[in-house]
Amino acid sequence: MDGAVGDKSVGESDEPDRMLPLGLLAVLGAALTGTLLSARAGGAFPDMGSPFLLQSVGAVVLGGTLIFCGSATAAGTLFGSVLLVLIVTTMQIAGLPGGTQEIIQDVVIIAVLAFAGDARSRSSA
C-alpha cells in the first residue's frame, strides 16, 4: 500500500530498532553466564539462578529503576549493582554467614524502598 492508514501492524516503526544490538548483547551475555555457571556447578539444574535473584532485583531497586515510577536509567542500575557488590563483599570479608548476608541485603532494599516512598509522599504533599 502507499502509506494508507492501517497498512502497519500495531507498534511498527519507520525507524530501525536501535536497541536490537543492545538486546542481542544482553542475550549473548546471559547465555555465556549460564554456560559458565553450569560448568562451575558441574551440570545444570532448575534452581541454579535462585541465589542470584535477590542480588539482581536488589541492584535494580537500589539503582532507582523501580523506585521512581519506572524511570529506568542504565547509570542508576549500574550504581545499584556496584553498591550491592560493595555491601556483599564487605559482609563476606567480615565473615558473616550466608543467611545473615541475605537478611542484611533484604533490610537495605526495604529501607531504600521505605525512604523512596516517604520522599515521594513528601514531594506530592
Question: Average pLDDT, stretch 18-37?
Answer: 85
User: How large is the angle between the packed helices 98-124 and 50-62, nearest 10 degrees?
Assistant: 30
pLDDT in tens, 60-104: 777 776 555 556 677 778 888 888 888 889 999 999 998 898 898
Closest CA to 104 of 117, 90, 116, 118: 90
Read off the pTM: 0.58
Q: What is the overall mean pLDDT for the chain?
A: 77
Signed CA dihedral, 40, 41, 42, 43: sign only? negative
Higher-confidence position of 48 and 104 = 104
First to last CA, the chain: 52
Closest CA to 59 of 108, 120, 115: 108
pLDDT given for residue 32 in this prediction: 94
User: How large is the angle between the packed helices 74-94 and 50-62, nearest 10 degrees?
Assistant: 120
Higher-confidence position of 104 and 113 = 104
